[in-house]
Structure 1
């Protein structure tokens, strides 16, 4: 469980530092867009009040805070009661750290601060994301992959 806490802590801090830097220091909340390596990587301010890709954006942020905390609790319980090794714990840490990073955004801003935008090959991506979103995606994928039944029958 120590691995879960360490990974979650690193992801949480990294997510919050990048959000503070982009939203406050670079003032993306005001300038809205900064070209970094066009068209492949740009900073595009987006306030996500819903879930992925802004779905269910009309709901109260408290609903998503509660949902995220329930998921964090379920993941921690799963890892605690049925550990499958280091990769599952790293994946759980990614998911937990990312989810808590987005919870903090909802508490501070009332929405999740998304700012990374990547496009390529004639496709302009209309959505933005953040470090927490990446961690949640990779963590959820890893939880599925590394949580397969690896216990041998006695």
Structure 2
């Protein structure tokens, strides 16, 4: 049985949201806030922090009105536009379509957290000896990055064709 395009879009978005929300529920239940647990030495660390801002806490010091505009209303409008775009544009290649879907899923998951909890739960941290060091992030952030990777891959594949 072949899935319709819109069913595939829905499944990718829902799975992205579900995996993120399940991971955050588990972290909230079982990981003490600000306690660090080494998963792979000091290279891959699990912790539990609440981020009231966006990427790396940017925007956390904004007044409540600006935070509402930039961290809720604007992302909702952009995610809605991108969803409208991928549903209407039937010419998107599979990599771009998957990329946009998981970006939308990750975005919705983080917006949901901001609405329900007032902040986003972040819990992973990578530090490869200063060569690669991340801020603290979550599964939704991973889906956004995966989606960007898919968009780049789709762009390269389209240029070759």
TM-score normalised to structure 1 length = 0.83
- Structure 2 unaligned runs (5+)? 1-5
Once residues 95 and 130 of structure 2 are traced to their aligned partners in structure 1, the CA distance between those partners, rounded to angstroms, is: 36
- 2:31 aligned to 27, 30, 51, which one? 27
Matches within 5 A, 1:3-152: 3-24=8-29, 26-29=30-33, 32-59=35-62, 60=64, 61-63=67-69, 64-82=71-89, 83-122=91-130, 125=133, 127-143=135-151, 145-146=153-154
Once residues 10 and 124 of structure 1 are traced to their aligned partners in structure 2, the CA distance between those partners, rounded to angstroms, is: 28
Once residues 23 and 136 of structure 2 are traced to their aligned partners in structure 1, the CA distance between those partners, rounded to angstroms, is: 14
Q: CA deviation at 1:80?
A: 2.0
- Structure 1 unaligned runs (5+)? none
Q: What do residues 94-133 of structure 1 show as CA deviations (whole Å, max 9, x unaligned)?
A: 0111011101211222111100011112568472000000
Note if contact 2:126-2:134 (Cα within 8 Å) is conserved in structure 1. no
- Aligned residue in 1 for 2:3: none
Once residues 4 and 144 of structure 1 are traced to their aligned partners in structure 2, the CA distance between those partners, rounded to angstroms, is: 19
| Off by >3 Å, runs of 4+ in structure 1 | 122-126
Note if contact 1:28-1:34 (Cα within 8 Å) is conserved in structure 2. no
